[in-house]
Amino acid sequence: MKRLAGVIQRIGFRCTSCAKCCTRAFNGHVFLLDRDVTSVKAFDPAALEPAPAPEFCDQNGIFYVSGYAVRTRDKVSGSCWFLENGRCRIYDRRFTICRIYPYMLHREPDEHGYVDWRQFSGLDQHGEYDAVISDDESLDLARETKEYENAFLTQEIRFLEFIRDYFTRHQLRHVQKVYDDHVRRFNRGEEITVMVYHNGDLEQHRIRN
C-alpha cells in the first residue's frame, strides 16, 4: 500500500477534464463490477452491453463473458454512453473503475519481457503532473485501487469457477475453431448469442456488430 501510495504521490496526477479516458480511442472499454451493473440497471439499463472479447465459446457457438461494459455512443468517437459535451452525466455516481482511474495494480511484462507492477494508465498522455498529493489522499487512492482490483479478480475467479461447473453439468466445452468462426460471422454482421455472467448467473443476449 505504501509503495503504491508513494507512486501516486511521485506522479502527482491531476485530472484536467480532457475526457480522453471516457472514449474507446483512449481506453478499450469500461468493464463494470457486478455492483456497478446492479446500479446502472436501476437507472439506465440501455447503457450496458456484454464486455468485448468473451473468454469462451462452446461447441454450439454460444459465447460466455465475465461481465458487462458500458456501451459507447457511436463507432466514430467511441464516447462513453454517459459522456455529454465532454462531461460525465453521472459524475456523482460514476462507476468504481472511473473513480480510481488512472491508477491500477496490474502485473505486466514490459517491452523487454520483464514482469513488474504497472500502477498508472496513460502516463503523459492525459491530465497534468507534479500536483501535491497529501499522505492521506495518496493512501486513500491506493486503498480504493486495491479494493477495485481485488473485487475485479474475485469476479473473474467466480466466473471461471461457475463456467467450469456449468460446462461440466451441460456437457459443453470450449472450441477455439467455433469461437473464431463465430467471431468472423459477427464481423460480417450476423447475430450471435452471448451469455453474460452477473451476480452468480448467466444472462442471455443476442447481439449484432
The residue ranges that bind ligand SF4 (CB under 6 A) are: 22, 30, 70, 80, 82-83, 88, 90, 94-95, 98
Nearest approach in angstroms of CB 38 to ligand SF4 is: 15
* Cα–Cα distance measured from residue 80 to residue 206, given in angstroms and rounded to the nearest whole number: 21
CB atoms within 10 A of CB 6: 15
Nearest approach in angstroms of CB 125 to ligand SF4 is: 16
* Cα–Cα distance measured from residue 101 to residue 97, given in angstroms and rounded to the nearest whole number: 6
Nearest approach in angstroms of CB 95 to ligand SF4 is: 6
90 or 178: CB nearest ligand SF4: 90
62 or 70: CB nearest ligand SF4: 70
Residue position matching grid coordinates 480522453: 20
Element (H, E) at 43: helix 34-43
141 or 192: CB nearest ligand SF4: 141
13 or 63: CB nearest ligand SF4: 13
Nearest approach in angstroms of CB 26 to ligand SF4 is: 10
With DSSP H G I counted as helix, E B as strand and the rest as coil, what are the percentages for the chain, rounded to 5? 40, 25, 35
Residue position matching grid coordinates 475467479: 157
Nearest approach in angstroms of CB 6 to ligand SF4 is: 26
Residue 58: beta bridge partners?
174
80 or 163: CB nearest ligand SF4: 80
* Phi, psi angles (nearest 5°) of residue 120: -145, 140
